[in-house]
Structure 1
Amino acid sequence: MSCACSIPIYYELPDSEPPIGAAALEGDQDTDIAVVGGGLAGLAVALSLVERGAKPVVLEAAQVGDGASGRNGGFLQLGWAADDERVEAALGSTDAAVLFEAAKDAVALVKARVARHAIRTEVTPGIVEASFFAGEDELRRRADLLARRHGVPFEHLDRAKLKELYRTSVYRGGVLDPCSVHLDPLALTRGYARAVLAGGGRLFEHSPVHALVPEPGGIRLVTAQGRVRARQVVLATSVYGQDPDGRAAWALLPVMTYALVTEPLGRRLEEAIRAPYAVFDDRFAMGYWRPLPDGRLLWGGKIGLTDAPRGLEAAMLADLRWIFPQLGSVAAERVWSGRMGFTRHRMPLATPLGPNLWLATGFCGHGLGTTTAVGELLAAALLEGDRRIDLLARFGRPWAGGVFGPLAAQLLYGWLELRDHVRLRRMGSTTIS
């Protein structure tokens, strides 16, 4: 099976699914706040604004959720993409705790919004970090540290306990986060869009913004068939489509990750996987997987810089069969890629670019919860004068390397994957090429 090339999202929309918002912007609109980008980042900002009484306009270049927001693995986790230690080193423990709390609150808020807006997704508690490399003492210390830092009872899983849950011998142990959840990311994204509309916001799909024109007291956003005049603008584009300002793309490196969904597995899935948790591992090119409610298995991982590298499906299935040999005959039903916007410091770009222009992008593959965290912080800043958003601005907007960024990244990624390969061989395992 080859990679899908149109909108390769593994949760298919039923034929009866109504369109979201207007087909395209036509004519002129006026608003206090406009959001450019109808992915989860832009919709999270818009929904937080709506919940505070604002009526934003959202402009989406294509369709809601057809970028990374609808193609990801569905892991809604505590924390930020950057390691906790890096956040504390940059901000100090007191200010870092503010961001940790914001991320924790965001997980709870996403779950509450799913219930409040009747978003059509199952929300399954529990995410496990499964380790190839860490020893039992290190994993126990990690669970204790995370529990103290985030106020959540993280649980150390020794090798025997993890093997009871997942019938594989490749992991040395793990850490269970009982607060984080996994869900259907496309359903969440589209559910956010409907909630924005229900709250009085306006949403226009197929309306790419070609130019941002400063005007007295605001900015004019220009599309092919219409214009929006806004007092404040939030740029929530990433690495799909064109950045109408240019300063977001300057700081973003497009990184690909890959996933597949298996055919329905029936009892074979239950025999291999005896817990409902989602799982990710500690290889550099992190593997991740989770059982889906319909009896299929989502399997993801690897990092690259191209949409469809040669031999992708075979490599993904080989990784699955290495970890679960008993699923050796499983076939892929769908294979796809997703493009993430990475920053050098692995923290979002949530910062003002001028008196009327904000960025909200660069979630580094960890955006299912942190988009909602940034949405809350940014809406509170715009409408309430809350300055917690300034903590994210302190990470800066470092250059991603321009045309040399992908080459440097490819060399680094190749070296780190080779390092993991060597480490696993020394431990008696075999990696997947």
Structure 2
Amino acid sequence: MYTYNNNYYTATMQPVTERPALSGDVQADVCIIGAGLAGLSTAWELVSRGKSVVLLDAGRVAWGASGRNGGFVLQGWSEGVSAIEQRCGKPTAAALFKLSLEGVDIVRDTIADQQLPGCAITSGKMSVVRYEDGDNLQRLRDKMAADFDFHLEYLDRQAVRAKLKTERYFQGLRDTHGFHFHPLNYCLGLAGLIERGGGRIHEHSPMVRVDSRDGRHRVFTDQASVDCGNVVYCCGGYGGPEFGKLRRAFLPIATYAVLTEHLGARLADAVATTDAVGDNRRASDYYRIVDGDRLLWGGRITTHNLQDEKRLGQLLTDDILDVYPQLRGIKIDKAWSGLMGYARHKMPHIGPLGKGLWTCTSFGGHGMNTAPIGGRVIAEAICGETDRYRLFDAYGLQWNGGPLGPAAAQTVYAGLKMMDKFQETRSQRRAMHKN
């Protein structure tokens, strides 16, 4: 049975009661499959527009990646701006970037307007590079300002190392629009809003099939069903074969996180900022301070989900000490993993699958802003308000490689890690020669 695992967020979550499984045969305007951030966001947008909604989940609300991620809410998509421009052209890339900013604002505004408790918003994110690359970062800063009217602060090596006391980082860009927060409490807050607005949420209710006939759909669980006009698939990295062609279009990719013990005054010897931090590696380290003096540190990606907490703790401790050797001897209080849905093109699947069938999933580790805007775009389409989902037309259900997909993805990742190591070693050697 899918349920909450032992991690920082479940240890600090708002009080919650278990919701009953779906029983009997019910009707709704929309049935949403998956009660992670995408499903919750879609449901809230629809309930706010007066639609009747039934939201089903195989486990608990936000028990998967939505409730156990790094908690970064930032601009952009998993795919980079330049790659989106090359595929879609500048006008569409600009519109998609604007959507991503709207996603950040949705989360921030919902917390403020609805006074959601326990979300613990902290502004700011530093993106740092692990090799000398100041010229390229400044060009990116200038491009973002000129093409997207989005302004980033450039940090030279001295500015970066004043905040992050390590020789691993060189330059960086600071995003003041983004923030970090408690994602599980946000999702639990959304669930409460949905139910107070008349929506129904049923946990422990896995979808087993969807039958479509005469413009209507019936979503079946083992012992119940929902008759509806629209179905929205929000399965995330945990979706199984019951999702059909959608499941064949993404790969479940695992990522890992740990929570350190309380570090007290030692923390300031390493990290002297409340900004979230992420580096430029293909599977980056990402971290932030929680509870005043603890590091919540994530990183690494694999196609197999390693769940041995002791092993995870050691692996990520090694990553922490590689950056901050002055923290040697730290202890890990919690370690956990999560599965993300990744499409090969690294963009989400947002749009129609057929008449009255929609998808809002595959956010590729960048879902805390893109799932909320995806939910809004799908709600607008269902309600006949906009066709903004057409911005994703270039990103369809590309085959994930089938049984060979995970092995191919792991091989690509290994090659990218080697490229990262080469660039970092070369930069370090150049720095030594200069000194």
Equivalent of 1:141 in 139, 142, 145: 139
SS of corresponding position for 2:7:
coil
- Aligned partners of 1:125, 1:149: CA distance in 2, in Å? 24
- Aligned partners of 1:277, 1:138: CA distance in 2, in Å? 22
Q: Match for residue 338 of structure 1? A: 338
* 1:12 aligned partner, one-letter code: T
1:52 is the counterpart of 2:44: no
1:152 is the counterpart of 2:153: no
Give the C-alpha shift of residue 243 in structure 1: 4.6
1:82 is the counterpart of 2:79: yes
Equivalent of 2:93 in 89, 93, 96: 96
Residues 237 and 243, structure 1, Cα contact 8 Å, conserved in 2? no
Give the C-alpha shift of residue 110 in structure 1: 0.6
Q: CA 1:139–1:342 in structure 2 vs 1: closer, same or farther (change >3 Å)?
A: same
* 2:347 aligned partner, one-letter code: M
Q: Match for residue 107 of structure 1? A: 104
* Unmatched tracts of structure 1, length 5 or more: none
RMSD: 1.8
Alpha-carbon deviations, 1:176-196, whole Å to 9, x = none? 011011111111111111111
Q: CA 1:160–1:14 in structure 2 vs 1: closer, same or farther (change >3 Å)?
A: closer
- Aligned partners of 1:244, 1:393: CA distance in 2, in Å? 24
Give the C-alpha shift of residue 238 in structure 1: 1.9
Q: CA 1:40–1:245 in structure 2 vs 1: closer, same or farther (change >3 Å)?
A: same
Between structures 1 and 2, the one with greater helix share: 2
Q: Match for residue 375 of structure 1? A: 375
Give the C-alpha shift of residue 105 in structure 1: 1.2
**Matched residues, percent identical?**
35
Q: Match for residue 414 of structure 1? A: 414
Residues 248 and 361, structure 1, Cα contact 8 Å, conserved in 2? no
Residues 56 and 202, structure 1, Cα contact 8 Å, conserved in 2? yes
Q: Match for residue 320 of structure 1? A: 320
Residues 232 and 357, structure 1, Cα contact 8 Å, conserved in 2? yes
Give the C-alpha shift of residue 428 in structure 1: 3.1
1:189 is the counterpart of 2:187: yes
Give the C-alpha shift of residue 315 in structure 1: 2.1
- Aligned partners of 2:155, 2:185: CA distance in 1, in Å? 31
- Aligned partners of 1:51, 1:393: CA distance in 2, in Å? 26
Residues 260 and 300, structure 1, Cα contact 8 Å, conserved in 2? yes
SS of corresponding position for 2:428:
coil
Give the C-alpha shift of residue 16 in structure 1: 7.9
SS of corresponding position for 1:289:
strand
Number of residue pairs aligned between Structure 1 and Structure 2: 424
- Aligned partners of 2:16, 2:415: CA distance in 1, in Å? 47
* Unmatched tracts of structure 2, length 5 or more: 430-435
Give the C-alpha shift of residue 140 in structure 1: 1.4
SS of corresponding position for 1:365:
coil
Q: Match for residue 304 of structure 1? A: 302
- Aligned partners of 2:146, 2:188: CA distance in 1, in Å? 35
Alpha-carbon deviations, 1:357-416, whole Å to 9, x = none? 111110000000000111111111110341110111321111000100011111111111
Give the C-alpha shift of residue 31 in structure 1: 0.5
Give the C-alpha shift of residue 109 in structure 1: 1.4
Q: Match for residue 284 of structure 1? A: 282
- Aligned partners of 1:65, 1:131: CA distance in 2, in Å? 32
Give the C-alpha shift of residue 211 in structure 1: 1.1
Matches within 5 A, 1:197-276: 197-276=195-274
- Aligned partners of 2:33, 2:129: CA distance in 1, in Å? 39
* Segments of 4+ moved more than 4 angstroms: 13-16
Alpha-carbon deviations, 1:268-304, whole Å to 9, x = none? 1233211110011011121111111342111111111
Q: Match for residue 390 of structure 1? A: 390
- Aligned partners of 1:350, 1:134: CA distance in 2, in Å? 37
